[in-house]
Amino acid sequence: MDASIKNPTLQGQRLTLPDIFFLAFLVFAMVSVVWVGRLAYQEGMNNEITKRNGEHWTKWFTQAGLDRGKASYEPASCAAGALQLVMPVASEATPANPESESSSRTGPKVDLGPLMPAPTATPLLTPVPRTWGPCLKALTAQGGPLAETVNPFTRKPIALVAKCDMADRHLAGGMVLEKTLATAPGSAIPFISSPLIESDQIDQKMQIRVTVCDKGAYPIRIAELEF
């Protein structure tokens, strides 16, 4: 007697081609959900690390704003006040007898005797305002207080950008530093902000705004502080 007739349920237990496709799709869907969830988790962690980078820089700026006016502040390129550069003054030796020198120009050569050195001039101290460029280099150089901040999206040292632009996803994880300046009294806009560039003077107190760019290069405001 045929086995299928003896046990009719055997026919229903066999996987058909549609069943195989359905199971394969189910496995693919489960793997995709896990993969997308993992990506979302990683991107969320990268955003959090980016925020922590901004908070780390904010903490340094805040403390520096309190301490950089003190003597012997380090790094010195970030201290308040102007640099005092020594400008040497050239001095020339003068003859002991100027009249003999003038006569030697018109007559025979005369021994002028020993030369008397001119009085040593006091070096001039010229104040030169400190700028952001050398300060930034000192902060991000090896061993600097901000050298360890890394962009989590690129795994490279964090880069300062002019602004966060959602049209450019390569800016993800970047940081924007802006200086805020007060306008003239009575102006419609009380403050104006512009990127902090290397040539900006930092010898005086200034307002700094710290912003970071998330995974979509959208700006996330961290803080505004006095530096």
Look at residue 42 and tell me if it is in a domain: yes
Q: In terms of domains, do 105 and 191 share one?
A: no
Q: In terms of domains, do 31 and 112 share one?
A: no
Look at residue 140 and tell me if it is in a domain: yes
Look at residue 125 and tell me if it is in a domain: no
Give CA–CA dist 81/202, Å, rounded.
8
The residues pairing with 191 across neighbouring beta strands, listed in sequence order, are 182
Q: In terms of domains, do 34 and 105 share one?
A: no
SS3 category, 49: helix
Look at residue 124 and tell me if it is in a domain: no
Sign, CA torsion 26/32/34/40:
negative
Q: In terms of domains, do 60 and 9 share one?
A: yes
Look at residue 178 and tell me if it is in a domain: yes
Q: In terms of domains, do 39 and 139 share one?
A: yes
- Residue 50's pLDDT band, with cuts at 50, 70 and 90, is very high
Angle at 192 between CA 188 and CA 195, to 5 degrees: 165
- 76 contacts 110 by C-beta, under 8 angstroms: no
pTM: 0.69
Strand 207-213 and strand 219-226: the pairing is antiparallel
**pLDDT of 153 strictly over 90:** yes
How many separate domains does the chain show?
Answer: 2
Give CA–CA dist 115/120, Å, rounded.
15
Q: In terms of domains, do 101 and 174 share one?
A: no
pLDDT of residue 100: 47
Q: In terms of domains, do 111 and 136 share one?
A: no
Q: In terms of domains, do 100 and 208 share one?
A: no
Q: Domain residues for 48?
A: 3-71+130-226
The residues pairing with 150 across neighbouring beta strands, listed in sequence order, are 157
Strand 156-157 and strand 150-151: the pairing is antiparallel
Look at residue 198 and tell me if it is in a domain: yes
Q: Looking at 68-81, list the stretches that DSSP marks H as alpha helix, in order from N- to C-terminal side.
A: none
Q: In terms of domains, do 211 and 170 share one?
A: yes
Of the listed ranges 28-37, 137-146, 218-227, the one predicted with least confidence: 28-37
SS3 category, 86: strand
Q: In terms of domains, do 107 and 181 share one?
A: no
The token duo for 23 is 């199971």
